[in-house]
Amino acid sequence: MTRGIAMKKFFRWTKVVRETSGSQIAEAALVLPLAFMILLGIYWFGRAFNTYATIIDAAREGARSAVSASCATCASPNNPPTPASVATVVTQTMQASSVDPSQIQLYAPPFVFCNSLTQGQNCSSSSNVTVCNSIQLTPVSSPPACGVSVSFQYPYQFWLPFTSLNNQQLILTADVQMRGEY
């Protein structure tokens, strides 16, 4: 009788070993973490691209406000807006897209200026947003065009565990040039 029970157990174990239903669990255990990491990477790179598009849009809106005349009906309508008002436009645009404007960092790229003023007289910053007036726009056209530049940097931090990008900070740079209207 014990031999019959032993034979049944033996046949049961050989049947389990021959079946492949257990291998599916092992394959899933190997593939699912990799698929999860790929999806997580797509998410974080998508957020980085969204943040970059938002800061470029904010810089574009700031440059648009910087080239607009401050008062069309005033005696001297060609007064450019102050850097503080341009920084306010940038801040409001970033807040509208739920991006924290308090993380803006100062960035002042080198420019070729259209007049004989030095860079310090043409560039000023407010709330870490640099506004430069009377710059030669790039690429240089014939004849050279003058305009305004609004520039700043924004930090972005990845969170991808178990990779070299975990807690890496990427500095996104926004530098928008626009031809002046006045």
> What is the C-alpha to C-alpha distance for residues 173 and 162, in angstroms, rounded to an integer?
27
Q: Where are the domains of the chain?
A: 50-179
Splitting the chain (182 residues) into consecutive groups of 10 residues, what average pLDDT does each group show? 70 66 80 91 92 97 86 63 92 95 92 67 87 84 82 91 83 91 57
pLDDT at 137: 86
Say if residue 177 is exposed, middle or buried (CB neighbours under 10 Å; 0-12, 13-18, 19+): buried
> What is the C-alpha to C-alpha distance for residues 176 and 66, in angstroms, rounded to an integer?
11
| Structural Rg of the chain based on CA atoms | 30
| Three-state DSSP state, 36 | helix
pLDDT at 23: 76
The HSE-up count of residue 138 (CA atoms within 13 Å, CB side) is: 8
> What is the C-alpha to C-alpha distance for residues 133 and 181, in angstroms, rounded to an integer?
12
| pLDDT (tens digit per residue) in 122-150 | 888 889 999 998 888 877 667 778 889 99
> What is the C-alpha to C-alpha distance for residues 163 and 82, in angstroms, rounded to an integer?
45
Residues 6+ apart with CB under 8 A from 158: 44, 48, 165, 166, 167, 168, 169, 170
